[in-house]
Structure 1
């Protein structure tokens, strides 16, 4: 059989069980700190095993230990054993591990944009694995690359060989990562949060792809995730981790129907619940009419515009005081571009009426007076908070820029907003890296809230958070809305979240509004095929 042909290793029911991975009494320490303690589990050939738990529970540390990717000697193993296809990996040298990595086990990382090299084409990155492990020549490697891209359903694979990561969508980049992981047909595929940042339809496509590839190749899958809906959809068995220990383990059906441990019950009960304040609509606080954001495409020596990318094309919306408007749609639909245009952060056309004043056309000085009333909380708080500034400096910066407050007034405002977002006052002199993801998001909310805005734009504020933390942030936002009569524009790809927090929903596709209406009406009786497809994909995980 040619090396460039994929083997099909379909498992027969009559075959004896074969253990691909055996983790026995594993403990991992960083210096004196024990981060994983006495963890044991096994994965059989053709089965999917899920490790779930909140950030810091030890899931990824356990997964990285399988391929010995933790920094040695800072990380070490006080006890335990890890066997891949019967071979011990703990303590093995680089040469032994290089032979095992990719061949026995491969890993898909959480964020493909940072895992893929931005300077190399897709073909070069996949071929590197084939050169290193299989010794293929350039022609044979190219054939194999095409075969792998076809296997993971990349459209027009020949054209994509020369593409760079930034030229692919999020779902396509994740498919390329899967292709790279499957290049040597490993016995174990480790998937570390492979769908966290993806739209619900793309998420479903990736999970379906993993299931079909598992059926074709007979590989075992270790799924690392904080999303229990994915576990329920994909896994056969699951282990729940908390503070480095497995607190409950068993078949997925049993864990979901009859959880025994209190922590497992908390995770399962953390589904967002609809809890929005009642609303009396009078005059719109924000009115956007026929809004457009077009990016010109230019060519030639004189860089003449020959066409446009119509990122937002003729969108109109209204937002009332105390209301939450949910905006949903797949990546590239124009959600984030729309709100950046409304905030006057990018050039746009169309009316933006805020409290009766048209913000479109105001110069920078005139616009500054309205900035404090229109604030935004970004998706990734770690990226949007300066690592060189303390919490005190981060929150006070906006007030200082406004130049309207004394030092005493600023200090009082900072301490009050920390109370509002449920952070201790002693947090003020700490830095972002000293906080958890949920705490950093609270800091980002505090930074916006201290300016007393009327409208808060929330761009995927909970997508990277654990379920329990996500619920805490959503409850906090609801409390703040009632307390300050805030209006929210809530952008998300998580339909369960948007249903829980929104009064009305706007569905975007290719820069246009395809459907809008009251939240429950859209969910119960969607009118457009695109909305129906989004809801259908979401139902697969419920």
Structure 2
């Protein structure tokens, strides 16, 4: 039985053709994957199934879409409302922005049940509990009263799945459902989708740029490039015998280990018994009765030209650790940089060292000011330091652009005018212009396509060799850690559970937690 059939579909935004003559179909109980880089037309195609594109700006020069043998293009709101949620549901990429921060989980799931099934409050409450149990949310009775920010990333994604499954649809559209999740949580979500598919018999349209996920979840796959399907077929055939050059490029985009040899013997950074504890207070006088021990007694070393990979699940303390090392939050313990303990310095004295310790964040679009040009973004740090003439700043800006392989013409443009990979290059240039000795990379490639990710990793390796930079590399992608790091530090609940040379940790992990992380990663390799 065919659940979804798309024939010769073209989509235009104004005069711009973004999807070109796309055709595919999905059978009941099967998983079809639509893969390709950002801008290839994957999500636009999926949004068309539920008619969620902005009309009339978006229109269809050709083609048709049939959902359970019903044409959807051009149908009115009442018809589409009867199909959305009942016949087809969608899991969006980022649950934190898809869920309403002002409403409890129960209210958001119940809204679907009231609208589509006409349930009363008591029946909706019972169904909400059933759905949370179905997606394996722990303690569902108490979680119904929680708000999205009170859940972990994996739990929020499970809530999104519960909402999508509320009416037991025939088709589930999953748009990058695991992109921002840790490898163990990612595995749990994908196994959950497979088990629910077997139980409910639904078809799944999986949209992703991660071919490793496709290999383990999908039955058939179509590869999109610039709005066109350039290759399609069974997963086995595509992975074992790809025909199109673009498909081969995607398959070959796995990070390769190519790290520089260490030259320095003395540690550039020495951290001892480092703690970041957040007080828990209660009562009228707000007395502290306990602490959240986000980082608890961590010690580490970093040498010049070395990359230290820090891995662990969400909530393990990775990002809190580096914020503490940069003195952006209160902490305890020694932070010795080049022989100086930064922990005792006031803000004025600390400013001298800030240019030596820089950070590149996960989401360049969020970390770059949309109101500032690239010139202003890169020069800001130099101007704050107040130690350079205008001519020196101009020279440094142009050199930073050369280092990250961006043209000088980029200087007068704004972040929204660049691709994700180009924005990350701008973020790297902003840090690099200060000539740091240590660069902290907090998930710098997790939101990027595989081919763009490889370009950024190659750039970072080149910059490290060119400037003898030291990196602290935080990521949940273990293939990236293995490719980039000299040593690895594994965090769990704020504590170091294992550390050592990268190949030693990967080939002979000693701790159960490390073994579980590597085992989950192996499922996608």
Q: What TM-score, normalized to structure 2?
A: 1.00
Counterpart of 1:196 in structure 2 is 179
Distance 1:102 1:462 in 2: 33
Quote how far apart the aligned CAs of 1:408 are.
Answer: 1.0
Distance 1:354 1:416 in 2: 26
Distance 1:272 1:415 in 2: 29
Q: Does 1:517 align with 2:500?
A: yes
Counterpart of 1:487 in structure 2 is 470
- The one of 132, 135, 138 equivalent to 1:155 is 138
Distance 2:337 2:361 in 1: 21
Q: Which runs of 4+ in 1 moved over 2 A?
A: none
Distance 2:262 2:218 in 1: 42
Q: Does 1:109 align with 2:97?
A: no
Q: Does 1:76 align with 2:75?
A: no
User: What is the CA deviation profile of residues 331-357 of structure 1, one whole-angstrom value per residue up to 9, with x for unaligned ones?
Assistant: 000000000000000000000000000
Distance 2:156 2:163 in 1: 11
Q: Secondary structure at the match of 2:343?
A: coil
Counterpart of 2:517 in structure 1 is 534
Q: Secondary structure at the match of 2:434?
A: coil
Counterpart of 2:268 in structure 1 is 285
Q: Does 1:46 align with 2:29?
A: yes
Counterpart of 1:29 in structure 2 is 12
User: What is the CA deviation profile of residues 297-337 of structure 1, one whole-angstrom value per residue up to 9, with x for unaligned ones?
Assistant: 00000000000000000000000000000000000000000
Counterpart of 1:9 in structure 2 is none
Quote how far apart the aligned CAs of 1:279 are.
Answer: 1.0
Counterpart of 2:490 in structure 1 is 507
Q: Secondary structure at the match of 2:290?
A: strand
Counterpart of 1:172 in structure 2 is 155
Quote how far apart the aligned CAs of 1:467 are.
Answer: 0.3
Distance 2:143 2:4 in 1: 34
Which shifted more, 275-284 or 49-58?
275-284
Distance 2:6 2:258 in 1: 42
- The one of 19, 39, 62 equivalent to 1:56 is 39
Quote how far apart the aligned CAs of 1:121 are.
Answer: 0.5
Distance 1:281 1:366 in 2: 27
- The one of 269, 273, 279 equivalent to 2:252 is 269
Quote how far apart the aligned CAs of 1:111 are.
Answer: 0.3
Aligned residues: 525
Quote how far apart the aligned CAs of 1:491 are.
Answer: 0.0
Counterpart of 2:369 in structure 1 is 386
**Correspondence 1:287-302 to 2 at 5 A:** 287-302=270-285
Counterpart of 1:428 in structure 2 is 411
Distance 1:369 1:344 in 2: 13
Counterpart of 1:410 in structure 2 is 393
**Correspondence 1:330-479 to 2 at 5 A:** 330-479=313-462
User: What is the CA deviation profile of residues 104-162 of structure 1, one whole-angstrom value per residue up to 9, with x for unaligned ones?
Assistant: 10000000000000000000000000000000000000000000000000001111010
Q: Secondary structure at the match of 2:243?
A: coil
User: What is the CA deviation profile of residues 262-292 of structure 1, one whole-angstrom value per residue up to 9, with x for unaligned ones?
Assistant: 0000000000000100113411000000000
Q: Secondary structure at the match of 1:393?
A: helix
**RMSD of aligned Cα (Å):** 0.4
Distance 2:450 2:25 in 1: 26
Counterpart of 2:191 in structure 1 is 208
Q: Unaligned stretches of 5+ in structure 2?
A: none
User: What is the CA deviation profile of residues 29-81 of structure 1, one whole-angstrom value per residue up to 9, with x for unaligned ones?
Assistant: 11110000000000000000000000000000000000000100111111110
Q: Secondary structure at the match of 1:285?
A: strand
Distance 2:332 2:373 in 1: 38
Q: Unaligned stretches of 5+ in structure 1?
A: 1-17
User: What is the CA deviation profile of residues 395-440 of structure 1, one whole-angstrom value per residue up to 9, with x for unaligned ones?
Assistant: 0000000111111111111111101100011000000000000000
Distance 2:81 2:367 in 1: 37
Distance 2:416 2:48 in 1: 24
Q: Secondary structure at the match of 1:295?
A: strand
Distance 1:101 1:77 in 2: 20
Distance 2:451 2:206 in 1: 19
Q: Secondary structure at the match of 2:316?
A: coil
Q: Secondary structure at the match of 2:509?
A: coil
User: What is the CA deviation profile of residues 82-101 of structure 1, one whole-angstrom value per residue up to 9, with x for unaligned ones?
Assistant: 00000000001111111100
Q: Does 1:139 align with 2:122?
A: yes
Q: Does 1:20 align with 2:3?
A: yes
Distance 1:50 1:424 in 2: 36
Distance 1:39 1:83 in 2: 13
Q: Secondary structure at the match of 1:493?
A: coil
Distance 1:142 1:502 in 2: 49
Distance 2:408 2:263 in 1: 36
Distance 1:121 1:306 in 2: 28
